[in-house]
Amino acid sequence: MIFYFSGTGNTKWAAEQLALSTGDVLKYIPDELNKTGNEGAGLVYQLQQGERLGFCFPTHGWQPPRIVREFIRRATFLSPSSPLPYIYALTTCGDNMGHAMRIFNKELGKKGLHTDAAFAIVMPESNVCFSFLHLDTPERVHQKIESAKGRLRHICEVVGNRQCGVEELVKGAIPYTYTYVIGGYYNKHLITDQHFWVDEEACIKCGLCAKLCPVDDIEGTPPQWKHDGSCTNCLACYHHCPRHAIHWGKMKRGQYVFSE
């Protein structure tokens, strides 16, 4: 089984490639969380004998997205053999992922689990929430996707062979500072729908933002955010808007959605 989350499609593409190569079943984390309703009980997954367990998620603020951590907390993975057969995780990031995998493994650890193999792939940037960051140019997007294809072929091989003790991460120069200081602030204060707003003249009321929101945080056309604490700040609403009518704070940035 492969569980994934994705806002702008990078991780979805990577997870789909892994599923194609391994034949493992792909599951979208928001759909899984929805199965239990807001107050839902734990989610129980029964793995087959020897079945691999994979997790794919984007790095958000040098940490795993909140929705991914919530899923791990609520999920139970049962396997006919103990310990679990083979566990791997892949994060996609625009630049570097800091200690995101350490935090992910800490969540897994609470379930008595740990990754046998962990990977990062640098992919096109989707963050428009930091003033010091800009989206990639079309040329850079192309380069990153081409190089990601090669990385992914290698990762599929490693996972296919169930190689253990593999850690191919892109932690960056000062991962502790980014993850726990800057990322700590970001994850505490900026994962919120409070900064989104819509240009009502540009909005064509297509409802795509509400349809794509993984946590059902948007209602109506033009969109209204519910401010109910569910937003995971994946920016799917912002990036997929066909008229770029959705904005985040005062930042003037472009849009990005994965396409090959």
Binding site for ligand FMN (CB under 6 A): 6-12, 58-62, 92-97, 123-127, 129, 233-235, 258
Q: If you write DSSP's letter for every residue of 188-244 in order, what string do you get?
A: HHT-SSTTEEE-TTT-----HHHHH-TT--EETTTTEE--SS------HHHHH-TT-
CB of 231 to ligand FMN, least distance (A): 10
Q: How far is the CB of 44 from ligand FMN (least distance, A)?
A: 26
Give the shortest CB-19-to-ligand FMN separation in angstroms: 15
Residue 10 vs 115, nearer CB to ligand FMN:
10
* Listed residue (94, 164, 159, 154) closest to 130, CA to CA: 94
Name the residue nearer to ligand FMN (CB basis): 44 or 251.
Answer: 251
Q: Whole-angstrom Cα distance, residue 251 to residue 39?
A: 35
Specify the residue, 84 or 103, whose C-beta has the smaller distance to ligand FMN: 103
> What is the nearest approach in angstroms of ligand FMN to the Cβ of residue 201?
26
Task: Tell me whether residue 94 or residue 222 sits nearer to ligand FMN (CB atom).
Answer: 94
Q: Is the dihedral of CA 177, 182, 185, 190 positive or negative?
A: negative
Residue 54 · residue 25 · CB < 8 Å: no
